[in-house]
Amino acid sequence: MPLTRKVTDLLVPIGDYAVTNEDSPLSEAILALRKVYCQVEVGKCTEAGHRNILVLDSRKHLVGILDFRTILRALIPEIAGGLTQRLEAIGVSVAFAQADSLDLDESRLSFQARVIKNADTKVKHLMLKVRGLIQAQEDLLSALKLMYANNITVLPVYENGDLIGVLRESDLFLTVADIVSN
Amino acid sequence: MTRTGKVGAWGLALLLSVDILAGSGFANEGMVVVDNASSFSWWIWPLLLLVVTFVMGVAAVLGGVGGGVLFVPIISGFFPFHLDFVRGAGLLVALAGALAAGPGLLKMNLASLRLAMPVALIASSFAILGAMIGLALPTQVVQIALGVTIIGICILMLVAKKSTVPNVPKADPISSVLKIYGVYQEASTGEIIDWKIHRTWQGLILFVAIGIMAGMFGLGAGWANVPVLNLLMGAPLKISVATSKFLLSITDTSAAWIYMNQGCVIPMIVVPSLVGIMGGSFVGVRLLRVAKPGLVRWIVIGMLAFAGLKALSKGLGF
């Protein structure tokens, strides 16, 4: 039964995953994630790698996760952000317009310049908090339940108090798909 | 005439027509909220308010002035509402704009909390006092003072200069103790700018007057905050603009409570005004991307001066 297998059988080792520091700028995290997700150095990106990057603190403890959506929301808040972020972006423009200081309004920079500027934001100001973790010896069904209970797509896996890897929703999907195919 | 010029001209025409409507033979004396009650249905006023404040919101953004500073003189001058209600609504209009911008300005590290807090403490305390004075004084006296202030604001708008990064040779002792200094990155050049301020006590004294005026007239106070923070205290223009907007959210809240407590904030005036001016501001910002606002600024200054004279004439009983 595939789902009675242990988490340790399916996890992605931490060494294979993209990691960044919470004090690093977002630009560094983006480049690290792109490297793992898409092997652009060796040619066309044909195989999708990991879609998240783990955020560690100075003691190498896992403190957060960044995913594509969070990154895009930070880079282009006026488009990818929620209503609040969009209103804030317009509100800032209104503030500078009403002070007759239009030229100081950063949101009037070109799209590219805004993206580059927003990429300077520190990772710790954007990262998603880690919600839930699992021990390596637990079974995959427990992992699946935990993922859906916490509405997350990646689950950090610990063994003897150390982070040893990550279990992804996509791996669990493939495991469940095996049941169907068999 | 440019597109933005047309917007300003239409705004002026709209105000004049409201004035004619309010002051014509349609009006009667005798109501508390509405000075000259009209024979029109009640809903005509909120509707007109919505339309006028929408145009006002567009004009405020294009003309480079705060919504609050346009709202009070124009609405009190051209609409048949009692001044107390207009001032209460004016504070909420200024407050709404400040609250919309505040979080973004803080996130962008442009609004400085260290600069805002001592100033806000003084300005908001005196805004409460100003609101109390404003409600205690006879309406005519407040109207005259409002007229004088508005004409003063017009002069300030015409003559005040700005300094992007003022030269502050040495931080003064008060600002050093309060740790009012900071760093920001200029987005256009990537330059890291260290800033500090001086003449702190002189600035704080001026914020006493600014607080009183903000509370008394319900004007918002960006027109005064920015020159004091920038030209007198030496904060960079960008920090001054952002901190000023953030300051309004504290100062105006304090004064707004006094008006609210006295029953001077009525939804019938506040709701259409807020919706209109916020909607207008958001449209104005979009328009700014395609239009140059040169002429509109002059029209707005002219409109303000006219409203100031109107307030003076109302107060003096002409």
- The proportion of chain A whose per-residue pLDDT surpasses 90, expressed as a percent, equals 19
In sequence order, which residues have a C-beta less than 8 Å from that of residue A33 and are 6 or more positions away? A18, A50, A52, A53, A66, A71
Using a CB–CB cutoff of 8 Å, tell me whether B237 touches chain A: yes
- DSSP letters of B26-89? TEEE--SSBSEEESS-TTHHHHHHHHHHHHHHHHHHHHT--HHHHHHHHHHHHS-B-HHHHHHH
Question: Which region among A93-97, A104-108, B73-77, B108-112 has the lowest average model confidence (pLDDT)?
Answer: A104-108
**B165 pLDDT higher than 90:** no
Using a CB–CB cutoff of 8 Å, tell me whether B68 touches chain A: no
Q: Is A95's CB within 8 Å of B107's CB?
A: no
Q: Determine, yes or no, domain membership for A32.
A: yes
Q: Is A97's CB within 8 Å of B245's CB?
A: no
**B28 pLDDT higher than 70:** no
pLDDT in tens, B56-71: 999 888 888 888 888 9
Q: Is B187's CB within 8 Å of A91's CB?
A: no
| Spatial CA neighbour of B85 closest among B97, B72, B103 | B72
| Spatial CA neighbour of B153 closest among B305, B295, B297 | B305
CB-CB: which of B100, B187, B226 is closest to A94?
A: B100
Q: Is A99's CB within 8 Å of B102's CB?
A: no
**Which pLDDT score, from 0 to 100, does residue A39 have?**
61
Using a CB–CB cutoff of 8 Å, tell me whether B62 touches chain A: yes
**Which pLDDT score, from 0 to 100, does residue B26 have?**
36
**Which pLDDT score, from 0 to 100, does residue B259 have?**
93
What does the angle CA A53 – CA A133 – CA A55 come to, to the nearest 5 degrees?
Answer: 25
Using a CB–CB cutoff of 8 Å, tell me whether A88 touches chain B: yes
**Which pLDDT score, from 0 to 100, does residue B23 have?**
47
Question: Which region among A34-38, A59-63, A133-137, A152-156 has the lowest average model confidence (pLDDT)?
Answer: A34-38
**Which pLDDT score, from 0 to 100, does residue B30 have?**
38
Would you place residue B29 in the very low, low, confident or very high pLDDT band (cuts 50, 70, 90)?
very low
Burial pattern A64-93, b for ≥16 Cβ within 10 A else e, equals bbbbeebbebbbbbeebbeeebebbbbbbb
- Residue B58 CA to residue B293 CA, distance in Å, equals 11
Q: How many CB pairs under 8 A join A and B?
A: 88
Measure A125 CA to nearest chain B CA, in Å: 10
Chain A CB contacts of B222 under 8 Å are 98-99
Label each residue of chain A as H, E or C. CHHHCEHHHHCEEHHHCCEEECCCEHHHHHHHHHHHHCCHHHCCCCCCCCCEEEEECCCCCEEEEEEHHHHHHHHCHHHHCCHHHHHHHHHHHHHHHHCCCHHHCHHHCCHHHHHHHHCCCEHHHCCEECCCCEECCCEHHHHHHHHHHHCCCEEEEEECCEEEEEEEHHHHHHHHHHHHHC
CB-CB: which of A91, A102, A117 is closest to B101?
A: A91
**A146 pLDDT higher than 60:** yes
Burial pattern A44-62, b for ≥16 Cβ within 10 A else e, equals eeeeebbbbbbbbeeeeeb
Question: Which region among A5-9, B35-39, B77-81, B103-107 has the lowest average model confidence (pLDDT)?
Answer: B35-39
Q: Hey, which residues does A64 pair with through a beta bridge? A: A55, A129
Chain B CB contacts of A122 under 8 Å are none
How many domains, in total, are found in chain B? 1
**Which pLDDT score, from 0 to 100, does residue A76 have?**
86
In sequence order, which residues have a C-beta less than 8 Å from that of residue B264 and are 6 or more positions away? B84, B85, B87, B88, B135
- Residue B4 CA to residue B287 CA, distance in Å, equals 8
- Residue B166 CA to residue B17 CA, distance in Å, equals 44
Structural domain harbouring B156: 3-316
Would you place residue B31 in the very low, low, confident or very high pLDDT band (cuts 50, 70, 90)?
very low
- The proportion of chain A whose per-residue pLDDT surpasses 70, expressed as a percent, equals 93
Measure B38 CA to nearest chain A CA, in Å: 34
What are the phi and psi torsion angles at B315 (to 5°)?
A: -65, -40
Q: Determine, yes or no, domain membership for A165.
A: yes
Chain A CB contacts of B66 under 8 Å are 98-99
**Which pLDDT score, from 0 to 100, does residue B27 have?**
35
How many domains, in total, are found in chain A? 1
Chain A CB contacts of B107 under 8 Å are 88
**Which pLDDT score, from 0 to 100, does residue B51 have?**
95
Q: Ramachandran region of residue B199, left (φ > 0), alpha (ψ -120 to 50) or beta? A: left
pLDDT in tens, A101-128: 877 887 777 788 888 888 988 899 889 9
User: What is the average pLDDT across B237-265?
Assistant: 91
Give how far the C-alpha of residue A18 lies from the chain's centroid of Cα atoms, to the nearest Å: 10
**Which pLDDT score, from 0 to 100, does residue B36 have?**
53
The ipTM is 0.79
Chain B CB contacts of A106 under 8 Å are 108, 187
Q: Determine, yes or no, domain membership for A99.
A: no
CATH of the domain at A51: 3.10.580.10
Structural domain harbouring A7: 2-71+121-181
CB-CB: which of B63, B222, B285 is closest to A93?
A: B285
User: What is the average pLDDT across A146-156?
Assistant: 89
- Chain A interface mutation, best of B165, B186, B193, B241, highest count of A Cβ atoms under 10 Å: B241
Would you place residue A3 in the very low, low, confident or very high pLDDT band (cuts 50, 70, 90)?
low
Measure B318 CA to nearest chain A CA, in Å: 33
Q: Determine, yes or no, domain membership for A113.
A: no
- Residue B277 CA to residue B272 CA, distance in Å, equals 8
What does the angle CA B193 – CA B195 – CA B198 come to, to the nearest 5 degrees?
Answer: 160
Average pLDDT, chain B: 84
Counting other chains too, the contacts that A101-110 makes at CB distance below 8 Å and 24 or more residues apart are A101/B64, A101/B162, A101/B237, A101/B238, A101/B241, A102/B64, A102/B288, A104/B164, A104/B237, A104/B238, A104/B241, A106/B108, A106/B187, A107/A78, A108/B289, A109/B187, A109/B188
